[in-house]
A and B are shown apart, each in its own frame.
Chain A
């Protein structure tokens, strides 16, 4: 889907849709998946990210747990974005996403639906909600990396 941040109505709709119908919301019991638990004292979010990496490709990504609208929608969108991508492409997406949240120039095309979080930094305290799953993904990919060391 292609849309721009000049269409706030659509951005809202995407967030609400992913909040109410989160994608890839499922608990996996397969030990081949790397599971990362994201929670903290200051935040209510309690989210598990599960990633399956095969030959440098993220072949699957699932998640479960509880979070606010922003973290839920962002996690849902992230899982859709990274499935089937190479690890390096996923890392690139993460970099662009973080640039966007930090109000720096970023590549809109690589982010797809995730650009609906472009204005989340209007409330700086919510940036950590928008990137909680991406931070989880980073940890998961680092774990994966350690396996091959």
Chain B
């Protein structure tokens, strides 16, 4: 059970009596980014205030303390996802990780080889593959979705072939919020000898992630959607794959030595993927976020989000003026439109009531072709949301047809 009142005491964003200016703060845009607890902010501050020095290079005690803090954090993050610390490479975010994986896998792609994606992928799991497909003359295939928008093992089988080299899918879609049967999909992918890349951006902060149990080959996510600092992400890869993969970025820290003839000997993973000075305070903050989420408990988070989602879906259905695109999806994401109201008009009306949601295509720009709508409103939940947030959402949606009130009343 989650005691939201108590949880909110951990989050400075709620310290002003859960208000934002004159508005109540009903923050329902958690699929875009999450609030950060004091413990994360404190961990970041600890670097800047107490141990500001670079890692991996100093011979003085301060620099040594940074190494200890960085490695300690790295170990916590690795354990959080049941990876070996050598398999956890820090990036600037999910997009950068997905780009490294896509470009890094170019050598295994030949003309006519196939990369399998889906229609509900975020731009970060589509556009790098478009580029790599163009460079290698590989072909992009899409898993057909079921009528309600799910990806099933049966449908994946339909597109897998001996030419499939990579399957890259989000564990949870950021628009519809369906949870993929990932273990089955990975097994099918491996049966045809292909690699499975998981985009965990939307799942990492909401569901327990165990890379060994899932058996994924690569998995990327951002820190900021899981209560961690902005501008940081993780690219996980099985060690032997990381060992074989070429880094996209070259520079300091990632090489052991080089000479004027162009000979470069690279560091071992993860260092060879971490060119340049790393986001050390970010890594320390992410470790604090991992510990915080573990303390709240993923079973609690999941149960809480499902309860709130069900409440929202029932309320919106009762209002009678909304189309809900994903009433049955597992994640705390409700994607909908209010009849006859353009998504942005609805979202901006909701904002005037302190209900902060997102409108648009949510970076999954292929999906409107499937949903048959230009844009949608998306409310996305997290464990610090409460029933009042949902009641405010339902109440505001009830009157969203009067969206021009914002400007004239």
A-side residues, CB < 8 A to B, are: 8-9, 11-12, 15-16, 42-44, 46, 66-70, 72, 119-120, 122-123, 125-126, 129
Contact = CB atoms under 8 A, between A and B. Distances in A.
Contacts of A16: 404
Interchain residue pairs A-B with the least CB separation, the first 7: A8-B408, A68-B344, A44-B375, A68-B342, A119-B407, A69-B345, A68-B345
5 contacts: A43-B344, A44-B342, A44-B359, A69-B404, A125-B351
B351 A123 contact: yes
Interface string B324-358: 00000000000000000111110010011000000
Contacts of A120: 407
A110 to B, nearest CB: 21
B344 A122 contact: no
B60 to A, nearest CB: 46
Contacts of B408: 8-9, 11-12, 119
B154 to A, nearest CB: 34
Contact of A125 (B348, B374, B407): B348
Contact of B407 (A42, A46, A123): A123
Nearest to B360: A44
Contacts of A67: 342
Given A44-B375, A122-B406, A123-B406, 20 more contacts: A8-B408, A11-B408, A12-B404, A16-B404, A44-B342, A44-B344, A44-B359, A44-B360, A68-B343, A68-B344, A69-B342, A69-B345, A69-B403, A72-B342, A119-B407, A119-B408, A123-B351, A123-B352, A125-B351, A129-B344
A12 B405 CA distance: 9
A44 B360 CA distance: 6
A125 B342 CA distance: 15
Nearest to B351: A123
B255 interface: no
Contacts of A42: 360
Contacts of A119: 407-408
A44 B343 contact: yes
Contacts of B409: 8
Nearest to B403: A69
Nearest to B349: A123
Contacts of A8: 408-409
A69 B404 CA distance: 9
Interface string B293-337: 000000000000000000000000000000000000000000000
Nearest to A117: B407
Contacts of A70: 345
Interface string B366-409: 00000000110000000000000000000000000001101111
Contact of A66 (B341, B374, B404): B374
A129 B348 CA distance: 11
B32 to A, nearest CB: 12
Nearest to A118: B407
A40 to B, nearest CB: 10
A39 to B, nearest CB: 11
Contacts of A11: 408
- Most chain B beta-carbon contacts within 10 A, residue among A8, A9, A44, A46: A44
A67 B351 CA distance: 19
A101 B345 CA distance: 18
B18 interface: no
B33 interface: no
A12 B361 CA distance: 28
B304 to A, nearest CB: 30
A12 B408 CA distance: 8
Given A44-B360, A66-B374, A122 B345 contact: no
A57 to B, nearest CB: 33
A51 to B, nearest CB: 24
Contacts of B348: 123, 125-126
A66 B342 CA distance: 10
A131 to B, nearest CB: 15
B168 to A, nearest CB: 22
B325 to A, nearest CB: 16
Contacts of B341: 69
Contacts of A43: 344, 360
A148 to B, nearest CB: 37
A44 B403 CA distance: 17
Contacts of B344: 43-44, 68, 129
Nearest to A73: B404
A69 B345 CA distance: 7
Nearest to B346: A68
Contacts of A129: 344
- Most chain B beta-carbon contacts within 10 A, residue among A16, A70, A120, A122: A70
Contacts of B345: 68-70
A118 to B, nearest CB: 9
